[in-house]
A and B are shown apart, each in its own frame.
Chain A
């Protein structure tokens, strides 16, 4: 596990942070799901930056060694180990906003192989809103496609980026609907 963190850290140094170039058009995606549960009940499950076990694609969540805790914006960083047939695909994410009163947190992707998720400069927020007493989970992100310049290959174009992020959000929301019941 530690070696994965080290590799991610080294890769970050080598590229000068997340300084990947991108084309000029940022993409935007927002999905939501209303559940048969109270906002507090749902927040108790998904409102932990160091525990993404509620998402079916995540095998384990690990905080980096330099994270003080899981609630400090710009410092708390997690490594998501994804379920896979081979290898150990990961996404490294840093907390950007922590708003438990609003049942919201924000994060950005610090490091990911575009073969795992074909996006760059990705930032997102996950919130549980109160919809007449029921939990409405709202997941929204802003990001650029995986290929920085014009004429991107098909697997790194805008459509591929939207498709990949839609899959992540929908997978998580569907799992919550199964657990709590769909109230849409």
Chain B
């Protein structure tokens, strides 16, 4: 079932990019591809082993999905066809992609791995305990990983794996995103986002969020954080770090990502099995799309459709 508001069409003007979302449904064991302009689930592909983390390479039209239980990486195209499967080993978790390189955290092995797109080893670096989310700086030179159980963000030279800096975060940083020269971590246990200068690792501020933040994304000049327990999206000003309001969404909102129009965002709710499309400018819900059980979409799960129809 699709619940679209008229406002959706008003926003999706000629500049709309025709974005798609890769929704990883963990208990359902599937990845759904959602057309964000029509609100239709294009296709759902079975993926075993509780898939959750995802990184979409829009240039190639391929999404890299990790199954949290098995560490298997499944590569899917925009039609949901599986083009490659690579066994990365149990513990493989957060994933980010830039150019010809994948960066994958190893939750149990306490390390960050740099791989080719085919899954071959490039470098490995030790991290703190339970490394989760991974993100790259805008220039692609620095890769940062949230050392969840060490309450820390670690940054490495993306080319070599050399440790560049470490910064203290709030309690249990999970996701990390890059925006405007800074890394932003969601600190699940302290209900905050920590703001860290990408070049130096200096902590420049902290944003208050709702209960148990999970993901963070930026659109329309604002920051948006999914608050798992509060069932809200906290909105904040990335310059002043002041709150700009809350948007109510389905229970356990988790993965969140901006669309390529720079204005809208997609967020999935793990408990209510929905993808919510939001207008970042007005902070209104545009559409709620039903998806298979337990969507998480941990990572960069949204981007332009390579073959618009």
Which residues of A are at the interface with B, using a C-beta cutoff of 8 A?
16-19, 21, 23-28, 74, 96-97, 106, 108, 123, 125, 140, 142, 149-150
Contacts and interface: CB of A to CB of B under 8 A. Distances in A.
B271 A28 contact: yes
A19 B151 CA distance: 11
A21 B129 contact: yes
B229 A25 contact: no
Contacts of B230: 96-97
Given A17-B171, A25-B69, A26-B26, A150 B229 contact: no
Contacts of B271: 28, 140, 142
B172 interface: yes
A19 B26 contact: no
Contacts of B129: 21
B189 A17 contact: yes
Contact of B93 (A19, A24, A27, A108): A24
26 contacts: A17-B171, A17-B189, A19-B171, A19-B172, A19-B189, A21-B129, A21-B130, A21-B149, A24-B50, A24-B68, A24-B93, A24-B107, A25-B52, A26-B26, A28-B27, A28-B271, A74-B211, A96-B211, A97-B230, A108-B229, A123-B212, A125-B251, A140-B271, A142-B252, A142-B271, A149-B108
Nearest to B252: A142
B301 interface: no
Interface string B21-37: 00000110000000000
B270 interface: yes
Contacts of B90: 150
Contacts of B26: 25-26
Interface in B152-207: 171-172, 189
B223 interface: no
Interface string B220-233: 00000000111100
B255 interface: no
Interface in B51-107: 52, 68-69, 90-91, 93, 107
B294 A16 contact: no
A25 B68 contact: yes
B294 A106 contact: no
A16 B171 contact: yes
A124 to B, nearest CB: 10
A150 B109 CA distance: 11
A24 B189 CA distance: 16
Q: Which of B229, B293, B294 has the most CB of A within 10 A?
A: B229
Contacts of B91: 150
A74 B230 CA distance: 10
A18 B212 CA distance: 12
A149 B148 CA distance: 14
Nearest to A19: B189
Interface centre among A19, A140, A149 (most CB of B within 10 A): A19
A2 to B, nearest CB: 27
